[in-house]
Amino acid sequence: MDFRSKLAAAWQRHDSLLCVGLDPDVARFPAHLKDRPDAVLAFCKGIVDATADLACAFKPQIAYFAAARAEDQLQDLIAHIHDKHPQVPVVLDAKRGDIGATAQQYAREAFERFKADALTVNPYMGFDSVEPYLEFADKGLIVLCRTSNPGGSDLQNLEIAGGRKLYQHVAELVAGKWNTHGQNALVVGATFPQELADVRAIVGDLPLLVPGIGAQGGDVEATVKAGRTAAGTGLMISSSRAILYAGKGEDFADAARKVALATREEVNLYRR
């Protein structure tokens, strides 16, 4: 099943727009896990197994795994998700962006080594830097558009020809001529609901990955109302730290589930 189909099925099956971010920081793990050689995998599997029926996607952030020398554990984690929770797509959050020859290797890393269903990428170097990912026709390409961090305005909000903003131009490209297989999506932060609404108006039903709720303070009601499609879907609203570190003891996965459930239900209040 291709990424878009898998995502659409997860929206319906789990009645959820919640994307659970997997940003494993060993320093914040429960004490009983910290000394295990497979601590990253054990922690993330606990979160995944506790929240899989509440999520429309999982989003492991590759930097956390790489910093902990845990790339093999990331590979095993994604294999676990595909085996035990095959209905939930995996978005590898790596924000890659480089010349075509290097992009080919990044694409192989994401889709052949890690077997992710989708990958986040940076559009700053133009189409030839994202084209290699599109060779994997069934995989999702999630392009940075209007990011949740305050510094995103330094470039993304610049006015270009015709008075449009740069992020609006990116949205138009990604939804149009770059969307060669219909598998593209965009990153638009919850911290900018008006820009989120602008992007939705440009891209129609294109999926949007929306970070910024939870620890980053994005407003859930404003986010959902600005970004939902007419069908009440179209969003992967990402929450990471608020879910991952809800508990500090051996019941960390149960605590994570409670926060994930509450987040999903809050999102669902405003979907329809």
What pLDDT is stored for residue 147 in this prediction? 92
- When comparing pLDDT for 44 and 34, which is higher? 44
Where residue 191 falls among pLDDT bands split at 50, 70, 90?
confident
What pLDDT is stored for residue 148 in this prediction? 87
What pLDDT is stored for residue 218 in this prediction? 74
Q: Pick the closest to residue 171 from 187, 183, 159 (CA basis).
A: 187
In the 8-state DSSP scheme, what is residue 56? S
CA distances from 43 to 39, 80, 111, 147, 149 (A): 6, 13, 23, 28, 27
- Active-site annotation, residues: 95
CA distances from 100 to 35, 104, 129 (A): 40, 6, 5
Can you tell me the mean pLDDT for 189-194? 90
Can you tell me the mean pLDDT for 189-215? 91
**Residue range 224-240, pLDDT digits in tens:** 999 999 999 999 999 99
What pLDDT is stored for residue 36 in this prediction? 96
Checking if the pLDDT of 272 tops 70, the result is yes
On whether the CB atoms of residues 223 and 236 are closer than 8 A, the answer is no
Q: Which range (18-27, 96-105, 148-157) has the least confidence?
A: 148-157
Q: Pick the closest to residue 232 from 260, 269, 272, 268 (CA basis).
A: 272
- pTM for this predicted structure: 0.96
Q: Pick the closest to residue 86 from 187, 181, 5 (CA basis).
A: 5
On whether the CB atoms of residues 206 and 166 are closer than 8 A, the answer is no
Mean pLDDT score of the chain, rounded to an integer?
Answer: 96
CA atoms within 13 A on the CB side of 55: 30
Can you tell me the mean pLDDT for 178-193? 95
The region, left, alpha or beta by phi > 0 then psi within -120 to 50, assigned to residue 115 is: left
Q: Is 190 helix (H, G, I), strand (E, B) or coil?
A: coil
Where residue 215 falls among pLDDT bands split at 50, 70, 90?
low
Return the bridge partners of 141, or none.
119, 184
Can you tell me the mean pLDDT for 64-74? 98
CA distance 240 to 59: 9
* Lookup: tokens for 71: 């790339």
Residues 6 or more apart in contact with residue 192 via CB below 8 angstroms:
146, 148
Checking if the pLDDT of 43 tops 90, the result is yes
What pLDDT is stored for residue 4 in this prediction? 98
Exposure of 121 by Cβ count < 10 A (0-12 exposed, 13-18 middle, 19+ buried)? Answer: buried
In the 8-state DSSP scheme, what is residue 163? G
Kind of pairing between the strands at 140-146 and 235-239: unpaired
Q: Is 89 helix (H, G, I), strand (E, B) or coil?
A: coil
Q: What is the largest CA-CA distance in the chain?
A: 58
Checking if the pLDDT of 214 tops 90, the result is no
**Residue range 168-182, pLDDT digits in tens:** 999 999 999 999 999
**Residue range 119-163, pLDDT digits in tens:** 999 999 999 999 999 999 999 999 999 998 889 999 999 999 989
